Amino acid sequence: MTDGIPAPNAAPNAAPSAAPSPGASAAAPSALADLPSGSTARLVRVEGARAFRRRLMELGLLPGTEVRVVRRAPLGGVVEIEVRRCRLSLRLTEAAGLFVEPNAGGGA
């Protein structure tokens, strides 16, 4: 909240993803942060301030990439995710810019 990253909805001019999102379904994408711990999903869109979006993408969080929610911090506010064999902890306010389409399979 102190970091001033615009919430995705508050930034209508944030460039939406133009890259092909393989297997994009008609179902509305949901925020990664809303997924239960342990579930896996495919990223469809990365939103947020330009510099932050770029950093996420450079860490491999690109549309089409599979992401797993590993766990949430006990006090909340932070979520640990796994992408390309790498674990990252993100603040929920920032993870709110990551949109996914849940996998039918759910688990790994």
Partner 1 sequence: MSASATDAPNCARDGENGLVQLEVTDRAPLVAVAGNPNTGKTTLFNRLTGHRAKVGNYPGVTVERLEGRLTLPGHARSARIVDVPGTYSLAARSVEEQIALWSICGLGAYERPDAVVLVVDGTQLERNLYLVLQVLELDLPVVVAVNMVDELLEQERELDADALAQDLGVPVVALSALRGSGLDELKEAVAGVLEDPARGRPGARWSPDEPDASTVVERVAAAVPDDWCAGDAERRRALALWSLLSVDDEDELEGLPEPLRRAAIDERARYEADGRCLEQYLVAGRYGWIDAHAERWTRGAGDLARKVTDRVDALLLHPLLGFATFLALMTVLFQSLFRWADPAIGAVEEVFGALGAWAEGALPAGFLRDLLVEGVIAGVGGVIVFLPQILLLFLFVAIMEGTGYMARVAFLMDRVMRSVGLHGRAFVPMLSGYACAIPAVMATRTMERRRDRMLTMMVVPLMTCSARLPVYALLIAAVFPVTGDHGFEQGLLMSAMYVFSTLVALAAAAVLGRTLFKGEHAPPIIEMPPYRLPRPLGVLRVMAERSALFVREAGTVILACTIGMWLFLSFPGEVEHSPEVAADLARVEAAQAAGEPLDDAFVTQVEARADGELLRGSYAGRLGHAIEPTIAPLGFDWQIGIGLLGAFAAREVFVSTMAVVYGMDESAAEEGDALRDEVRARTRPDGSKLYTPAVCLSLMVFFALACQCMSTLAVVKRETGGYRWPAFMFVYMTVLAWVASFVVYQSGRLLGFD
Which residues of the chain form contacts with partner 1 (CB under 8 A)? 1-5, 15-19, 46, 49-60, 62-63, 71, 73-78, 80, 84-91, 93-94
* Least distance (Å) between residue 59 CB and partner 1: 6
Judged by CB, which is closer to partner 1: 48, or 102?
48
* Least distance (Å) between residue 58 CB and partner 1: 4
Q: Which of these, 97, 88, 81, 102, lies nearest to 27 by C-alpha position?
A: 102
Judged by CB, which is closer to partner 1: 31, or 57?
57
8-state DSSP, 108: -
* Least distance (Å) between residue 33 CB and partner 1: 14
Asked if residues 72 and 79 have their Cβ atoms less than 8 Å apart, the reply is yes
**What are the residues facing 45 on neighbouring strands?**
99
Amino acid type, 7: A
**What are the residues facing 91 on neighbouring strands?**
78
